[in-house]
Amino acid sequence: MNQKWDDRYKEQGFAYGKDPNVFFKEWLPKFNPGSIVMPADGEGRNGVFAAQSGWKVTSFDLSIEGKSKALHLAKESNVTLDYIVGNLNELQFEKETFDAIGMIYAHFLAEHKSSFHKKLDTFLKPGGIIIFEAFSKSHLPYKKANPKVGGPRDINELYSKEEITEDFKNYEVLHLEEEEILLNEGKYHIGKGAVIRFVGRKQ
Ligand SMILES: C[S@@+](CC[C@H](N)C(=O)[O-])C[C@H]1O[C@@H](n2cnc3c(N)ncnc32)[C@H](O)[C@@H]1O
């Protein structure tokens, strides 16, 4: 399972670029810095941005190659990341540890999606925020027309507003939209795609 990601991150350059995701960059500065967990942080572009913005960052991902690239990027950017290699299946943090969760293109197997969201929720303090962007269920025709935009092939790994509302029903919704956007992230997110963008505050 992590071989795909290790192979991708072993390639030269940063798969999704070194710059943070546009939506994450727009929303994170609206909140006071504290501790943030970054599930599926890959090569760390978003974790590093959070650290540069004054957050204490805990990243995790399946890929050891992702960790190595992320630590390199952190060093180059004069920040530190606490980066754990592991599957969210097995990872455990204390209840209500973090002030925020940053989930950017954290696509999980269909059978795990919802339970992973519920598990992540337990790590967040009441009043904590989540910033989320991932491909929506309307994305498949975009991927078919232009494979360079990336994203999962299986519609069940993609998201809908209804699923997000259900998984995070104990959240005040600050933003929840399905949007067509133009991605320009490294060499694996290039072109038009359909995404869900969500920002919520845990009640
Ligand atoms: C499309 S990449 C996104 C990387 C990063 N968030 C970004 O936007 O640059 C998806 C990432 O999810 C990670 N991933 C998938 N399933 C996971 C799991 N069960 N536990 C931890 N990481 C996982 C993969 O290793 C991969 O790095």
Which structural domains are found in the chain, ordered by start?
A: 2-202 (3.40.50.150)
| Maximum pairwise Cα distance, the chain | 44
Burial class of residue 138, CB neighbours in 10 A (0-12, 13-18, 19+) = middle
Distance CA 77, CA 20 (A): 13
Rg for the chain (alpha carbons), in Å?
16
pLDDT in tens, the chain (203 residues): 589 999 999 999 999 999 999 999 999 999 999 999 999 999 999 999 999 999 999 999 999 999 999 999 999 999 999 999 999 999 999 999 999 999 999 999 999 999 999 999 999 999 999 999 999 999 999 999 999 999 999 999 999 999 999 999 999 999 999 999 999 999 999 999 999 999 999 99
pLDDT of residue 1: 52
pLDDT of residue 108: 93
pLDDT of residue 36: 98
Which residues line ligand 1 at a C-beta cut-off of 6 Å?
Answer: 2, 5, 16, 21, 40-42, 45-46, 61-63, 66, 87-89, 104-108
d(CA 128, ligand 1 centre) in Å:
22
Distance CA 87, CA 148 (A): 26
d(CA 93, ligand 1 centre) in Å:
18
d(CA 47, ligand 1 centre) in Å:
12
Nearest CA to ligand 1 atom 16: 108
* Among candidate residues 1, 37, 42, the one with its CA nearest the CA of residue 129: 37
What DSSP element (H or E) covers 23? helix 22-27
d(CA 59, ligand 1 centre) in Å:
11
- Asked if 59 contacts 81 with a C-beta cutoff of 8 angstroms, the reply is yes
- Asked if 184 contacts 190 with a C-beta cutoff of 8 angstroms, the reply is yes
